[in-house]
Amino acid sequence: MVDAALANPALQADEPVLSARKLARYFDVSPPLLNRVIEGTPRQILRAVDGVSFDIQKGRTFSLVGESGCGKSTVARLVVGLYTPTHGELHFEGQNIAGLTRKEMVPVRRKMQMIFQDPFASLNPRWRVVDIIAEPLRFFDITKGEAATQKRVGELLSFVGLSPKDGAKYPHEFSGGQRQRISIARALASNPEFLVCDEPTSALDVSVQAQILNLMKELQRELGLTYLFISHNLAVVYHMSDDVGVMYLGKLVEVAPARTLFARPRHPYTQLLLNTIPDLDMKGLDRAPVAGEVPNPINPPSGCTFHPRCPFANDRCRAEIPQPITLADGAKIACHGVEEGRIPDTV
């Protein structure tokens, strides 16, 4: 049974919990001014996230996938307020939280928490587990009195499959999977409605990954949680997701329900990504790795940024930036080839 204090009220069925509109984050990676003056070089701007738009409905999991450096982790940090957007809007439960000050973000942070990739690096090694989990309880004044706080920490530890007695230990006394359970318990301490999961299992063994993923699915069913899930592991994404967004060089190139995307990938980059999944059923399908290298994000290619690696690219792809189009089944694709009907939509 779920503790009633962990449950969250429902939103309107048609209202997204999180909505991003043309969200962008640029980083100035220029050399010092004096160097630029001497060398005669301009400023260098890294467009880590460049105008992404998506919606996440309550109780669903929206996953972002793509190669390393595509900007998916930057999106996660924008959502929780670790980065300030360069421009664009980010609405959480109807409120635009883009650019809020740290003080203004406090009420939002209680409803929105993050699970980080490395469970050991995200836990203070000098604190006992009881203090790590109790920190949100004390900061948000959720429990009254130390006895109530200790009781709540024990309940949270039990809820993620650990013992209340584990609260007396330090993080180094646990395995990687147990440390990630502690991270999840800490994230749940503030009774959040929305969790941002930035590759939460990539640092774990495969068998432990399955345990953590199953725990997250169970928590979602019982608490009605909503997830933004970041991963490069397509098998994990298939297991966890309701909807999937594929990122390439800071842009979303395809957004679709998970079953639709895995059954009928439209964008050439999505097709190439899915071609890297091992053919465990031995169907004899031709498999081709993703060709080429990711371009320099400081100086991206003109037009469609994927065109240097795309086997279907033409002159329009090299010159014109593709705009998202919505297909009949709800998938959104940013690709001239799909728009013109010259790309097959199956792997």
pLDDT digits (tens, 9 = 90+) for 51-79: 999 999 999 999 999 988 899 999 999 99
DSSP H/E element including 104: helix 102-111
Q: What are the C-alpha distances in Å from 53 to residues 88, 126, 218?
A: 9, 40, 28
Measured distance CA(267)–CA(271) in Å, rounded = 6
CA angle centred on 342, ends 344 and 53, rounded to 5°: 80
> Where residue 119 falls among pLDDT bands split at 50, 70, 90?
confident
* Residue 9 confidence class, pLDDT cut points 50, 70, 90: very low
pLDDT of 45 above 80? yes
Chain position carrying tokens 């004390």: 138
Which residue type sits at 33?
A: L
Q: What is the pLDDT of residue 99?
A: 82
pTM over 0.75? The answer is yes
Inform me whether the pLDDT recorded for 11 exceeds 60: no
CA 145 – CA 278 distance, rounded (Å): 54
Tokens of 332: 């959104």
Q: Is the pLDDT reported for residue 10 higher than 70?
A: no
65 neighbors 234 (Cβ within 8 angstroms): yes
| pLDDT of the residue at 4 | 38
Contacts of 40 (CB under 8 A, 6+ apart): none
Mean pLDDT of the residues in the chain: 88
Alpha-carbon span 188 to 182, nearest angstrom? 10
- Rounded to an integer, the average pLDDT of 21-42 is 90
| HSE (side-chain half, CA atoms, 13 Å) at 77 | 14
Residue 280 has pLDDT above 60, yes or no: no
Q: List, in order, residues 6 or more apart from 216 with CB less than 8 Å away.
A: 184, 197, 200, 227, 240
Tell me, which fold does domain 4-20+56-64+96-241 have in CATH?
A: Rossmann fold (3.40.50)
Order of strands across the sheet that contains 45-57: 45-57, 16-28, 87-92, 95-96
pLDDT for residue 6: 42
Contact 343, 326 (CB under 8 A): no
pLDDT at 283: 56
pLDDT tens, residue by residue, 164-222: 999 999 999 999 899 999 999 999 999 999 999 999 888 788 888 888 999 999 999 99
Question: How does residue 331 score in pLDDT terms, banded at 50, 70 and 90?
Answer: very high
Q: Note the pLDDT tens digit of each residue in 73-117.
A: 999 999 999 999 999 999 999 899 998 888 888 889 899 999 988
**The pLDDT of residue 342:** 86
Quote the CA–CA distance of 267 and 246 in Å, as a whole number.
Answer: 9
**CA 254 centroid distance within chain:** 15
The percent of the chain in helix, strand and coil, each rounded to the nearest 5, is 35, 20, 45
Contact 77, 84 (CB under 8 A): no
pLDDT level of residue 2 (50, 70, 90 thresholds) = very low
Residue 247 has pLDDT above 90, yes or no: yes
Indicate the pLDDT class of residue 287, thresholds 50, 70 and 90: low
Rounded Cα distance, 48 and 265, in Å: 24
Helix crossing, 146-159 with 129-139: angle to 10°?
120
Q: What H or E segment, with its residue span, contains residue 3? A: none
**Residue ranges per domain, the chain?**
4-20+56-64+96-241, 249-347
Q: Residue 289: pLDDT band by 50, 70, 90 thresholds? A: low
Distance, in Å, from the CA atom of 110 to the CA atom of 183, rounded to the nearest integer, reads 15
pLDDT category of residue 15 using cuts at 50, 70 and 90: confident
pLDDT of residue 7: 41
- 291 has a pLDDT exceeding 70: no
CA distances 56 to 79, 186, 199, Å, are 12, 23, 18
Beta pairing partners, 24: 50, 87
pLDDT of residue 288: 59
Higher pLDDT, 136 or 278: 136
What does the pLDDT look like over 292-327, one tens digit per residue? Answer: 677 888 889 999 999 999 989 999 999 999 999 999
Alpha-carbon distance of 303 to 317, in angstroms, equals: 6
* Distance (Å, whole) CA 84 – CA 205: 34
- Residue 141 tokens, joined: 């004044």
In the block, residue with structure tokens 């933004």:
228
What is the spatial distance between Cα 69 and Cα 289, in angstroms, rounded to a whole number?
18
Q: How many residues are listed for the chain in this entry?
A: 347
Question: Which candidate, 311, 339, 314, 318, places its Cα nearest to that of 254?
Answer: 339
Lowest mean pLDDT among 21-25, 34-38, 167-171: 34-38
pLDDT band per the 50, 70, 90 thresholds, residue 8: very low
